[in-house]
Structure 1
Amino acid sequence: MHLSFSTYYTLISAALVLLVGKFLVQKIKFLRDFNIPEPVAGGLVAAAALFTLHQVTGATFSFSSDLQSGFMLVFFSSIGLSANFSKLREGGRALVLFLLVIAVFIVVQNAIGIGLASALGLDPLVGLIAGSITLIGGHGTAGAWGQVLERDFGVQGAVTLGIACATFGLVIGGLIGGPLAKALITRYQLSTRSGQTHDNQAPLTEASPNAEFEYPDQNRLITANAAVETLALFAGCLAFAEFMTGYSQGKFFQLPTFVWALGAGVLIRNTLDYVFNIKVFDRAIDVFGNASLSIYLAIALLSLKLWELAGLAAPLMVILAAQTIAMGLYAAFVTFRIMGRNYDAAVLAAGHCGFGMGATPTAVANMQAITNQYGPSHKAFLIVPMVGAFFIDIVNAAMIQVFIKLLH
């Protein structure tokens, strides 16, 4: 028996997952102490419930992938619409340094995957699938490269394998980032605001500093007109992304759709700011971006087929376990130290765990869980979305091609 949820029922299910996650984080001290994001908490409960139903009844479930992709694109568009050139200049040296740290980790991740795959008697390309193709790259990159590996290199089931690895990484990335950052903050006493939350702060007004995604639960004063104008901006981003994805197909500048959505946001924002002197309503962008992030993660975890992960071969689980350990150690001893051994560096380490194992939305959710408790980190929220959603995909694509050529 297969149950397919339409768009409406997928949205209802996602909303229920978020409400359950909020309730669990509020009531369970362990989840609060280790800064587990609400969508991850609720999503794992839902995934476990669906897994139990599958085991008992044999039923399988599917949710609207179009809705999931749509909210993901809105989230990335919100990143672009929030980033004017002055913010990019503000990132400066730290942004470049963080990108170099991540680029080195791509090499480490692929070396671990390929090395362990070879040692366990698997095709080295399977190790690459369990490396940056799926963990840094996420589901989109897993599907795209999986087709290439099946068609051109004879790796059977590469797409299915890639989706399973990417799903594993999405969950693990959301579980290890918060605890790691908390451990760093506690050990080095990096925050003087421990224990403070921001749910009851005064709502953000036009005079308030732009909090970006740092406080998703904080009230933001917006109007219906501002909401409509902001939706028009998102529509422009999505239209541009769809056009460029089709136009660049097969060309040297082919990029994932979400990268075009982010780039469109940057282009539209800065054109309005510097050419037409039109002020963009940041608070409305924040509201839509945060809501889209939460719904995207909820649907992604609803779509988590634990019975497929349970069926992964033991050697592949060994590789993924090693990748998890490597991610935690690298974030703690390399990312944190190189980025300054301060509070911002701890939040950056949490973000690195998010997109180093899963995806940029997971990274942002990790950082939100930390900043909601310990205070803002403007530097981290400036750097991670731009690096994780834009620059690193270009670097990763180039490195994947290099590794494939070395192996064949």
Structure 2
Amino acid sequence: MFEFNFDMLQSACLGVLVFLLGKFIIKKVPFFNRFCIPAPVVGGLIFCIIHLIGRQTGLFSFNFANELKDFFMVGFFATIGFSASWLVVKQGGKAILILSVVSIICLVGQNFLGQFIAEAFGESGLMGLCAGAISLMGGVASSAAYGPTMESLGLPNATLIAVSAAVFGLVAGGIVSGPIAKFLIDKNDLVNKANKQDKLNGKDSIDYENLETGEEEIKVMNVSKFTSAFFILIIVMGLGTIVKAWLDIPIKNLNPNAALPAYIGAVIVAAIVRNVADVKKIELPVGEIGAIGEVFLSIFLAMTIMQLELWKLIDIAGPLFVILIVQVIALIIYDIFIVFRATGKDYDSAMMVAGFFGYAMGATPNAIASMNAVKDRYHRDSPKAYFAIPMVGGFIIDMLMPIFLLTHANFIVSGL
């Protein structure tokens, strides 16, 4: 077997090429665009299938260097920390609070459900976490980030399991979320009720359409702002390594092999910087930081997925598939009977149901795409949903996830 060995820069270069391949295919195949399958996922899966063929035929294999992959991962999650503005969260008030509570309950429920089914098949409960909130509510990026942590706790191939489950979740989220909202809207005649309510009461007491998120779309590149954004990001990433080292001390006291995800320190430092800047009224290049984060995410995901060793998934494919199917069914029930009722049982609630399923089973872009499809179908917007869903799915859950995941994982490892 001939082995191709890629060094640090070559691995990053290949990751970029794989991402560009995914973008090209998405433009040519409408299915991927319709279900919001990201370009790194498409390109990465094609590459790792080629790698699978090479391995199974004994012709060739690939070896990669991951230093830059880890750099891009930490950089992306740091940009999420810059979104954690308390001033922005306060604007959403009750809607954000309710959605956060039902999301946390769902996160915990996905983990326990995954653990229960995995252990019923005689597999490690950690596998259930990888097919639970790590991959579903967390998405592909969280799967790639938490995979090494689960491996350090004793689950072989955790990254492969989690990323595979996340890809399944992306497709399921895109397919199922819209029909759930349509079912609720049609069954309860929500569009007509919303139109009548508009005539009676006028606008919502909170004008979600005009709330400030602190982020602006980058239309013209400002070199000075991009430079500042990159420098701020690098400083935050550096300081984050110190914070992570401090936080790892009590974790390792509980389990010497355990460690927090590499990005956690950078996220905390970024959130502190953002909120201090808000209080002091210091303008940060938040839009430019977000743009850099998108680039980092694309390369990080491409590099992660192209390295998946699919041949190692064969032995657990059956239990993993069962867990994921049960997760889909459970989330449909939860969405209809809990999320819809908790958020008000109106048209906005149905829109949030579509968005909730999108990010609880896939990712926030899935959620937005699903809400867009519902909006186009009924020709009615929902500023409340469009404000609350990205705020909760985009960063509140990402900020809280380490607490719940690592606590649960350590309970499993400890045999509790």
TM-score range, shorter chain: 0.7 to 0.9
Distance 1:53 1:211 in 2: 48
- Say if 2:265 is the partner of 1:256: no
Aligned counterpart for 2:387 among listed residues 366, 373, 378: 378
- CA distance in structure 2 between the partners assigned to 1:274 and 1:244 by the alignment: 22
- Partners of 1:20 and 1:372 lie apart in 2 by 26
**Does structure 2 conserve the Cα–Cα contact (< 8 Å) formed by 1:337 and 1:345?**
no
Aligned counterparts, 1:150-165, within 5 A: 150=154, 158=155, 160-165=156-161
Cα offset, 1:211, TM superposition: 8.3
Tell which deviates more after alignment, 45-54 or 180-189: 180-189
Deviates more, 1:99-108 or 1:15-24: 99-108
Deviation of residue 380 (structure 1)? 1.8
Distance in 1 of aligned mates of 2:75 and 2:133? 24
Aligned to 1:266: 271
- Following superposition, the deviation at residue 381 of structure 1 comes to 1.8
- Match of residue 398, structure 2, among 384, 389, 396: 389
Distance verdict in 2 for CA 1:324–1:300, change over 3 Å:
farther
What's the offset of the Cα at 1:109? 3.0
Give how far 1:347 is off: 2.1
CA offsets 1:249-272 (integer angstroms, 9 cap, x no match)? 222697433222122112112223
The 1:278–1:132 alpha-carbon spacing in structure 2 relative to 1, beyond 3 Å, is: closer
CA distance in 2, matches of 1:73, 1:104: 27
- What is the alpha-carbon distance in structure 2 between the residues aligned to residue 212 and residue 365 of structure 1? 16
2:300 to 293, 296, 299: 296
Q: Secondary structure at the match of 1:342?
A: helix
* CA 1:383–1:52: 2 relative to 1, 3 Å: same
Aligned-pair CA distance for 1:118: 4.4
Assess, with a 3 A threshold, how the Cα gap between structure 1 residues 246 and 120 changes in structure 2: closer, same or farther: closer
- CA separation in 2, counterparts of 1:293 and 1:368? 18
Post-superposition CA distance 1:276-311 (Å, at most 9, x none): x32112321221122222222222211222111234
Amino acid at match of 2:360: H
Aligned residue among 175, 189, 193 for 1:179: 175
The alpha carbon displacement at 1:132 in A equals: 5.1
Q: Distance in 1 between matches of 2:336 and 2:20?
A: 32
Once the two structures are superposed, what CA deviation does each residue of 1:173-192 show, in whole Å capped at 9, x if it has no partner? 3322222333345554899x
Residue 243 of structure 2 aligns to which amino acid in structure 1?
M
Q: Distance between the aligned counterparts of 1:107 and 1:398, measured in 2?
A: 11
Q: Distance in 2 between matches of 1:211 and 1:294?
A: 23
The residue number in structure 2 matching 1:70 is: 71
**8 Å Cα contact 2:48-2:307 kept in structure 1:** yes
Contact 1:220–1:283 (CA<8 Å) still a contact in 2? no
Question: Given the two structures, how large is their TM-score scaled by the length of structure 1?
Answer: 0.76
- 8 Å CA contact 2:7, 2:65 repeated in 1: yes
Match of 2:90? 89
1:234 CA displacement? 0.2
User: Does 2:146 match 1:138?
Assistant: no
**Could you say which residue in structure 2 is the equivalent of 1:11?**
12
Corresponding position: 1:60 with 2:73 = no
Alignment correspondent of 1:366: 366
C-alpha contact (below 8 Å) 1:40/1:171 kept by paired residues: yes
Aligned AA (1:393)? P
CA distance in 2, matches of 1:382, 1:107: 19
Matched residue, 1:154: none
CA separation of 1:209 and 1:220: change in aligned 2, threshold 3 A: farther
Partner of 1:167: 163
Structure 2 length-normalised TM = 0.75
Trace 1:15-54 onto structure 2 (pairs within 5 A): 15-54=16-55
Give the match's secondary structure for 1:390: helix
Cα 1:269–1:184, aligned 2, differ >3 Å: closer, same or farther? same
Residue 49 of structure 1: how far off its partner (Å): 2.4
Q: Deviations over 1:367-408 (max 9, x none)?
A: 465578768823222221323321122123233444556x44
**Is the contact between residue 240 and residue 264 of structure 1 (CA under 8 Å) also seen in structure 2?**
yes
Amino acid at match of 2:408: M
CA distance in 2: counterparts of 1:324 and 1:294, whole angstroms: 26
Task: Give the distance between the partners of 1:385 and 1:24, measured in 2 at CA.
Answer: 26
Corresponding residue number in structure 2 for 1:307: 311
1:79 aligns with 2:69: no
Runs of 5+ in structure 1 lacking a partner?
Answer: 151-157, 192-207, 355-362
1:245 corresponds in structure 2 to 244
* Alignment CA distance shift 1:394-1:123 (3 Å): closer
| Alignment-mate amino acid for residue 269 of structure 2 | A
Pair 1:291–1:247, CA change in 2 (3 A): same
The superposition leaves residues 307-352 of structure 1 with CA deviations (integer Å, 9 ceiling, x where unpaired) of 1123436445434443455455545654455445332442232111
Q: Say if 1:55 and 1:334 are closer, same or farther in 2 by CA, change over 3 A.
A: farther
Indicate conservation of the 8 Å contact 1:133/1:145, yes or no: no
Secondary structure of 2:62's counterpart equals strand
1:143-169 CA deviation, whole Å, 9 max, x = no partner? 334434x4xxxxxxx2x1423321222
| Residue range with higher mean Cα deviation, 339-348 or 328-337 | 328-337
Aligned partners of 2:332, 2:63: CA distance in 1, in Å? Answer: 32
Residues 144, 27 of structure 1: CA spacing in aligned structure 2 closer, same or farther, 3 A cutoff? closer
AA matched with 1:162: A
CA distance in 1, matches of 2:389, 2:110: 22
Supply the distance in 2 between the matched residues of 1:184 and 1:45 (Cα, whole angstroms).
Answer: 31
Taking structure 1 as reference, are residues 92 and 403 closer, same or farther at Cα in structure 2, changes over 3 Å only? farther
Amino acid corresponding to residue 400 of structure 2 in structure 1: F
Task: Report the structure number with the largest CA radius of gyration.
Answer: 2
For the 8 Å contact 2:160–2:310, the answer to whether it is kept is: no
The answer as to whether partners of 1:21 and 1:42 remain within 8 angstroms in 2 is yes
SS at match of 2:170: helix
Distance of aligned partners of 1:235 and 1:58 in 2 relative to their CA distance in 1, 3 Å threshold = same
In structure 2, the CA distance between the partners of 1:133 and 1:402, relative to structure 1 (3 Å rule), is farther
Task: Kindly indicate whether the alpha-carbon contact (under 8 Å) linking 1:336 and 1:349 is maintained by their aligned counterparts in 2.
Answer: no
